[in-house]
Structure 1
Amino acid sequence: MRYVVLSFVALLAGLSAPAYAQDEAPVIVPPVTPWQVDFGENKCRAVRVFGEGDERTVLLLEQITPSDSPRWIMAGDVAERLNSGGDLTVQFGPGVGAFEMSAAKGTTLGDFGKAYRSFSIRKPDWDGRDGKKEDEADNLDDEADPTPGIPMLDIEEGASIEWVQFSRDKRAPQRLATGDLGQLFSVLNTCMTDLVGTWGVDVEAQQRRAKGPSPLNLSQIANRIQQYYPSRAERWGKQADLSIRMLVDENGAITDCRITNITIAEDFDDRACSEFKKVGKFEPAIDTDGKPMASFYASTILYRLN
C-alpha cells in the first residue's frame, strides 16, 4: 500500500508529559563539539556531537521553512542502544514536556547509522503510524496566527531546554547534555529571516502578517497528489519527505512554487507543485490591518510505502 500525506509544517499540538516507564537515573552523554550552525541555501541547520569513539551520537536541529519548532534528527550510539521495543519517549527538558513517538524502521544518517527524527521538539500533529493527522486539514487554518510576523522559534523556550532525553521500555534513559538552547534558537531565527529574504518576499512586510495564506481546497489537491506515486520510486521501494513552499499574492494566486528535499529524494519530482498550480485555490494572507497581502505558504509532503 502506498500513501501521500500533506502535512502543515508550522501547526503543532501540545502534549502532556507521560510518566517514564523506568526509575533508573539517566545516562548523561556530554558534548564533544560546540554547536555548528549552517546558513544553507535551502535550510538552517545546527549540529552537535556527543560522546567519543564508538559512543558518538549526533543531534541535528534544522528548519526549512519558518516555524515555532525545529525539526530534529538524533543518530549514533544512543539510537543503537534504543534500537528495539515500543514507542520512543522523547523530552527536550526540563522546559518542554515529554512525548511518545513511533520509531520509523530503516532510518539512518550517514556514518552515524541508526537514527530517529521528528518534525518537532513537541508532539507533531501528524501520526506516522497510520498516516493520519490528529485534526482534519480543512480545520487547521481557521484562527489567525497567534503572533503577527514570520513564525519564529521561542528563545525563552530554548532557554528552558538543557538536555534532550530518549527512553524506550525499561532501559535507562539516554540524556544528551545540550546546554541552554536560547542563544542557538536566536541564531537559527536570524538564519531563517535571511533565508526568507531570498524567496522574493518583502521580509519587512511579513512582520505585519497576522494570518498566513489558507488553501481553500486542500482535500482536492491532496487527492490528486495521492493518485500519483513516482513509478521509479515505487519500484525501488523508496520513500521521501518533501517540503513544498509557495508564494501567494494578495489575490490568492500562486506566483511561485518550490520543493525542497528533506530526505534524499532522487526519484521524486515536482508533481505536487504542478497540482497546486493547476487547481490550488487560496485565501490570501491578512496583515494586522485586516487587508490581504502577498506572503508564503509552506507544507510537508510525506511519500510512504507499506
Structure 2
Amino acid sequence: MRLRVIALAAIGVSSTSFAASAPKQPSGKWIVNFADAQCVATRNYGSEEDPFYLVLKAPAVGDVLQLGLVRKGATDEATQIDAEILFDESAPVRTSLLDFGNRKLNQRAMMANLPAKQLSPLTTAKTLRIRAREDGVSTIGTRLAVNTSRADEAFTLAQMTAVLKALDTCAADLRKIWKVWDYEKGGAQAGLKQGPTGDLVRLFDADDYPAISILKGQIGDVGFVLLIDELGKVADCTVIRTSGVAALDAQSCAIVKARGKFKPAVGLDDKPSKSAWFQRVRWALMR
C-alpha cells in the first residue's frame, strides 16, 4: 500500500470579484492523497456537514490534468455540459464537463480533462471560475433531456504551486511503483521480464457510443494509461490525451475498467507484477 496524505496549510488571499457571484472561500486545507493507484488533490469549500470539494487528479504520465467538483447528490444520471473555465480575468478555456452522480456514495461530480498547457495559469491565478456555455444540457446514454443541470461556480485559489509540485512528486512515485515507462519515446518497462497482455479492441461496440456525442456529431481520439495489478485487474484508468469531449473520455475508461481483462506482467523474480498499459481509442461516426 502507498497511502500517504500531505496537508497544505490554508492561506487567506484577496480575490478578483465576478459579477455573477463572489468566489467561494476555502474551509479546509489542500489534501494531496498519495493513494495506491491515484494522485488526487482536494480542498473543501463547503462545510463539514455539506462539503464541496475542488479536485485535481494527475496521471502517472502525460500532460492532462483532471479538474473537478464534488458535492452531495443522490442521482445516478449523467450529463455532458459545454463549459468554460476562467483563471482570474483571462480568456476562457472552452471544454466539456461530465456531470455524474453516485447514489451509493451520495455524491455528485463534474469533471473535465484538460491539457496541462491550458492549466498553466493555475500556478499564479487567484480565482477559478467554471461555468456552462449553453442552457441546453443533454443526458448521456439513450435518453435525452434538456436543462437538467447548470454549472457556475467560482473559487479562491492559493498555494497552487505547492499543490502541483506535490502531484508531480506523487506521479513520479506512481511511475516507479507501477513500472510505468515513457511510452512516447518507445521505451520498455524496466524491472519486468514480461509486460501485461490483453486485447482491448474487442471490448468496444457501436452501442457504446454516447448518445449526446452522436447527437452533436462529436468524434475524437482518447489516450489513456491503465495501471494493471498483480491479478491482471485494472486498478486505475486515467486519460492522458483528451478528445476534448467529456462523454468520450469518460466512456473510454468506463468500458475498459468494466470489461478489461489482462494477463499480469511478470517481474524479474518470475512473479506477477504491477505494470502499466497505454491505449488509444478513436471514436468516429460512420457516414
Query: TM-score scaled to structure 1, two decimals?
Result: 0.48
**Residues 174 and 244 (structure 1), Cα distance of their counterparts in 2 relative to 1, 3 Å cut:** closer
Report the count of equivalent residues: 198
1:270 to 260, 263, 271: 260
Per-residue deviation at 1:100?
Answer: 3.4
Amino acid at match of 1:30: Q
Amino acid at match of 2:27: V
Amino acid at match of 1:68: D
Amino acid at match of 2:92: A
Question: Aligned partners of 1:222 and 1:33: how far apart in 2?
Answer: 41
Question: Aligned partners of 1:227 and 1:85: how far apart in 2?
Answer: 21
In the other structure, the counterpart of 1:65 is 60
Residues 1:164 and 2:128 are matched in the alignment: yes
**SS in structure 2 at match of 1:27:** coil
Question: Aligned partners of 2:104 and 2:161: how far apart in 1?
Answer: 28
Identity of aligned residues (%): 15
Q: Does the Cα contact within 8 Å between 1:49 and 1:57 map onto a contact in 2?
A: yes
In the other structure, the counterpart of 1:260 is 235
Structure with more relative contact order (C-alpha pairs < 8 Å, separation 6 or more): 1
**SS in structure 2 at match of 1:182:** helix
Question: Aligned partners of 1:119 and 1:77: how far apart in 2?
Answer: 21
Question: Aligned partners of 2:44 and 2:166: how far apart in 1?
Answer: 18
Residues 1:225 and 2:199 are matched in the alignment: no
Q: Does the Cα contact within 8 Å between 2:227 and 2:236 map onto a contact in 1?
A: no
Amino acid at match of 2:94: E
Per-residue deviation at 1:102?
Answer: 3.8
CA displacement, residues 102-140 of structure 1 (integer Å, 9 cap, x when unaligned): 44454348766332101226699xxxxxxxxxxxxxxxx
**Residues 181 and 196 (structure 1), Cα distance of their counterparts in 2 relative to 1, 3 Å cut:** same
In the other structure, the counterpart of 1:90 is 85
1:30-179 pair list within 5 angstroms? 30-52=25-47, 56-76=51-71, 87-91=82-86, 93-94=87-88, 97-104=91-98, 106-108=100-102, 113-120=107-114, 157-168=121-132, 173-179=152-158
Per-residue deviation at 1:259?
Answer: 2.6
**Structure 2: gaps (5+ residues):** 1-17, 136-149, 189-198, 209-221, 238-252, 266-274
Output the aligned Cα RMSD: 5.0
Amino acid at match of 2:112: S
In the other structure, the counterpart of 2:218 is none
In the other structure, the counterpart of 1:132 is none
Per-residue deviation at 1:90?
Answer: 2.2
In the other structure, the counterpart of 2:22 is 27
Q: Does the Cα contact within 8 Å between 1:65 and 1:298 map onto a contact in 2?
A: no
**Residues 192 and 77 (structure 1), Cα distance of their counterparts in 2 relative to 1, 3 Å cut:** same
**Structure 1: gaps (5+ residues):** 1-22, 125-153, 215-220, 231-240, 248-255, 278-294
Query: TM-score scaled to structure 2, two decimals?
Result: 0.50
Question: Aligned partners of 1:110 and 1:242: how far apart in 2?
Answer: 29
Amino acid at match of 2:234: I
Q: Does the Cα contact within 8 Å between 1:47 and 1:60 map onto a contact in 2?
A: yes
Per-residue deviation at 1:62?
Answer: 1.2
**SS in structure 2 at match of 1:268:** helix
